[in-house]
A = this chain, B = another copy of it.
Amino acid sequence: MSDTLTDLPAIAALRARLADLPGPALLAAGAIGAGHGHDETGNLECLPALVLRPSCTEEVSRMLAACHDLDLKVVVQGGRTGLSNGATPRAGEVALSLDRMTRLDPVDPVSGSIVAEAGVSLQRVQEAAEAAGLSFGVDIGARGTATVGGICATNAGGLNVIRHGMTRAHVISLEVVLADGRVMGHTRSLAKDNSGPDLKQLFIGSEGILGVITRVCLALRPAPGPAATFFGSAPGIAAARALLARLRRDAPAALLAFEIIDRPLFDRITTAGHVSPIAPGAVQVLVELEEGADPDHLGAVLMEAIEAGELEDATLAASGSQRAALWALREACAEAVFSLTAPVGFDIGLPTAAMEAFLHDARTGLEAALPGIGIYVFGHLGDGNLHYIVDTDQPDTVAQIVFGALAAHGGAISAEHGLGREKAKYLPLVRNAAELDVLRGLKQLLDPRGILNPGRVLP
């Protein structure tokens, strides 16, 4: 399909308009690698009609202006590690890949910031920060491939959100190219700017439907010291929630992570060969506190939690290798999920107060519709974000039930992965008519011809 599409007059006209750009700036059919055909979801439908590979903001501007004039639809591609089919091309779309924009400026040690082009990997930012005695507050498993543009456009979360916030909290400023090629914003390290509404916020988490982020100034933080880590078992979600409240109030240092693994998933992890350091319970918790947590104080708090029935068993990491072993249990969740027959994953956000009620209603609904169905839950209880996995060959039925329960309990249909094409149709479940109107109005304002990532986010 893509071969014939590249012969469309509009594609030919685009190539003519950009003919003066150097060779690597355009990839035509035949030269396009399969990677440009999908994101981490892996659902390749077709290759893009053309891949545009700008080397700088000015080229992004020229390319988008041309696509706008020619009414060509554009799919924006970063590291393509997304999990919601946002970067997967549809027939006839031109891909705009930021993979050649990889300039990373030196760390500014005074303001504690760094400027990166959109194609720089998250890991390079982390390493540059560390070399300057600082750190970057966002970390996700795909750090080596995920890009600065991608984590900003999707407002990536990760393991330390409870303490440091999502990517939005780390963006000082950004530059963006609108659908018609106009350039907005800057990458100065202006920590405070209340000169009118903060337009950059529109583009963070908008998944490329409102503009293309080209460069970003990111805030860095002090390098973290050694954390205090423990692994425990709780008799249920309610107990884990009570433990969370206790730690927020009484723990000797701030929470860096509060992760859970439910019993069905944990049993798969131990069956696969991992050794549990404690007697498992209905819910396993992995908790990390910031440096400076006095071990005696923490031990006393954990004893109180055991006496209150919030914990059944717990072990504190006494060394870096023990800490790594505890985190290996959490990281084993992914492989345990992939070992299921047909895992369908939901990345849900909930007010922590609604957690038990949602889990009850979703399970009841699923078991009524699909008796014997396998349900596995793990994730970031500390920020109300669970990965809810169902082993099923009926993903649509399951999605209706899960999202229905979620909407009834005031949840988010995506806590961190975004909507892409996979979840766009469910947006009306969690946004009212006024909100959908405003979203459509924003899209119309910033991309009047609808050329940017069409079909993503907005139903």
A312 to B11, CA, bound (A): 66
A198 partner, pick from B134, B168, B196, B249, beta carbons under 8 A: B168
Contacts of A423 in B (CB 8 A): 195
Question: Which chain A residues numbered 164 to 213 have a C-beta less than 8 Å away from chain B?
Answer: 165-166, 168-169, 178, 182-186, 188-199, 201-202, 204-207, 209-210
Contacts of A190 in B (CB 8 A): 349-351, 384, 410-412
Give A255 Cβ to nearest chain B Cβ, in Å.
8
Contacts of A205 in B (CB 8 A): 194, 196-198
A350 (CB) vs chain B CBs: closest residue: B190
Pick out which of these stretches binds chain B: A265-273, A278-286, A428-436.
Answer: A428-436
Determine chain A's interface SS by DSSP, over half rule.
loop
Give A203 Cβ to nearest chain B Cβ, in Å.
8
A192 partner, pick from B291, B349, B430, B441, beta carbons under 8 A: B349
Contacts of A207 in B (CB 8 A): 196
**A384 close to B189 (CB less than 8 A):** yes
Pick out which of these stretches binds chain B: A43-51, A107-115, A370-378.
Answer: A107-115
A430 (CB) vs chain B CBs: closest residue: B195
A349 to B198, CA, bound (A): 14
A166 to B198, CA, bound (A): 12
Contacts A193-B412, A205-B194, A384-B111: A442 and B445 contacting too (C-beta < 8 A)?
Answer: yes
A257: Cβ under 8 A from any B Cβ: no
A123: Cβ under 8 A from any B Cβ: no
Contacts of A36 in B (CB 8 A): none
A111 partner, pick from B352, B414, B434, B458, beta carbons under 8 A: B352
Pick out which of these stretches binds chain B: A26-34, A154-162, A318-326, A389-397.
Answer: A154-162
**B412 close to A192 (CB less than 8 A):** yes
A161 to B110, CA, bound (A): 15
A328: Cβ under 8 A from any B Cβ: no
Contacts of A446 in B (CB 8 A): 438, 441
A65: Cβ under 8 A from any B Cβ: no
Number of A residues near B (Cβ < 8 Å) is 93
Contacts A192-B384, A245-B109, A351-B190: A250 and B133 contacting too (C-beta < 8 A)?
Answer: yes
A168 (CB) vs chain B CBs: closest residue: B198
**B439 close to A195 (CB less than 8 A):** no
A357: Cβ under 8 A from any B Cβ: no
A419 to B195, CA, bound (A): 6
A353 to B457, CA, bound (A): 38
Question: Which chain A residues numbered 411 to 455 have a C-beta less than 8 Å away from chain B?
Answer: 411-419, 423, 427, 430-432, 434-435, 438-439, 441-442, 445-446
Interface residues of A (CB under 8 A from B): 108-112, 132-134, 154-155, 157, 161-162, 165-166, 168-169, 178, 182-186, 188-199, 201-202, 204-207, 209-210, 221-222, 241-242, 244-245, 248-251, 253-255, 291-292, 349-354, 380, 383-385, 410-419, 423, 427, 430-432, 434-435, 438-439, 441-442, 445-446, 457-458
Beyond the given A154-B194, A190-B411, A191-B383, could you list 10 further A-B residue pairs with CB under 8 A, ordered by the A residue number? Answer: A111-B351, A111-B384, A134-B248, A134-B249, A168-B201, A178-B434, A178-B438, A190-B412, A194-B412, A194-B414
